[in-house]
Structure 1
Amino acid sequence: MKTRLFLLITMSMLSALFGTANAGEGEKVSYPAPVVSGINQDGATVNFADVYKKGPTVVFFYPKADTPGCTKQACSLRDAFADLSKEGVQVLGVSFDKAESQKAFKDKFTLPYDLIADPEGKIVEAFKVKKMLKGLLSLASRSCFLIKDGKVVWQDYSAATDQQAADIKRVLAEVK
């Protein structure tokens, strides 16, 4: 009985702190997109504002390159990249990984978009993505944002893994 009560109280507290949105549900919002820059997998600087100017932009955050959930999320967007590109969508993936790890991840799974190394967490902080600790490592919580005309129009702080592209396609149809 005490265990059940403890679980109910804990779940209530977590729901109050973090909300009850399901993965992929996200929420429509409207605020200026963070203007940041970072280093991609090849060591080149990527200015996010320049990417936003090219069209709708998906910025997704993942905990660690080449781990099961992160691979599903990245490959979901890879598999839908042709369809997303037809809609003019840009894609950027971000994690605390260094550029070398991002390059290995991109090459291993033939990801057609830039992966941004954010070892200091400045991009994670700009997007207000929650950080997790695993041992001594800081990891970004799985999150996804859709930017349109320089504004974040949708955010999902409990982003899906293998359904990430489907979520983006659904939201794109809704915000046209």
Structure 2
Amino acid sequence: MAQSKKHLAVGDAVPVFSLTDQDGKAFNIKDHIGKHKLVIFFYPKDQSMVCTKEACQFRDSFKEFTDAGAKVIGINSGTVASHKAFAEADKLPYTLLSDPDNKVLNMFGVKSKMFMTGRETFVIGLDGKIAYQHAAMMEGKAHSDNALQFVKGSKN
């Protein structure tokens, strides 16, 4: 029986992956490590209530994230078309990546809750290592607020 992937923690290297964004373009994490702090948030479903609140909080804080040198990236198993519709409907200015088989979610070790994939946020430092992690299934707004507070206070 296959072992499940370990949950990544602060100090672990970010896994190398490539996914497709909401515009159908390839996104390879290797192209971004060392250029920006990366705020990667995993969320269960496009345009669901808590996920929309979370996504809109990242949108509303987007300028503060970019001013602090961070790139915001949302990931879930939704299709490219679903992500495009979500980004357009809610005016999301950041990258949404389609992870159709939850391969990247599993690389990070994000655990499912009940019948949904987990909600978890990771901040990757310029060194390519996880510098911060936050998990809270029903508190979408807290993901952006806490990650922003961390990014503003971190040097890496």
- Using the size of structure 1 for normalisation, the TM-score is 0.77
> Which among 149, 156, 160 is matched to residue 134 of structure 2?
156
Secondary structure of 1:131's match? coil
Residue matched to 1:175:
154
Task: Assess if the C-alpha contact under 8 Å between 1:95 and 1:119 holds in 2.
Answer: yes
Aligned equivalent of 2:64:
83
User: Partner letter of residue 103 of structure 1?
Assistant: K
Q: 137, 147, 165: which is aligned to 2:124?
A: 147
RMSD: 1.6
Which amino acid in structure 1 is aligned with residue 106 of structure 2?
E
| Gaps in structure 1 of 5+ consecutive residues | 1-27
The answer to whether the 8 Å contact 1:54/1:90 transfers is: no
Higher helix share: 1
Asked if structure 1 preserves the Cα contact closer than 8 Å seen for 2:70 and 2:151, the reply is no
Once the two structures are TM-superposed, the CA of residue 89 in structure 1 deviates from its matched residue by 0.4
> Equivalences for 1:1-176 in 2 at 5 Å?
29-132=10-113, 134=115, 139-148=116-125, 149-158=127-136, 160-176=139-155
Partners in 2 of 1:102 and 1:157 — Cα distance?
Answer: 22
Contact 2:15-2:108 at 8 Å conserved across structures: yes
Q: Which has the higher strand share?
A: 1
Moved over 3 A (4+): none
Provide structure 2 residue ranges, at least 5 long, that are not aligned to the other structure.
1-8
Task: Give the letter aligned to residue 141 of structure 1.
Answer: G
Deviations, residues 116-142 of structure 1 (Å, cap 9, x unaligned) = 0111111111111113463xxxx4210
* CA distance in 2: counterparts of 1:81 and 1:111, whole angstroms: 9
Cα distance in 1 for partners of 2:34, 2:86 equals 26
Identity %: 34
Residues 6-45 of structure 1, C-alpha deviation per residue, up to 9 Å, x if partnerless?
xxxxxxxxxxxxxxxxxxxxxx721111111101111111
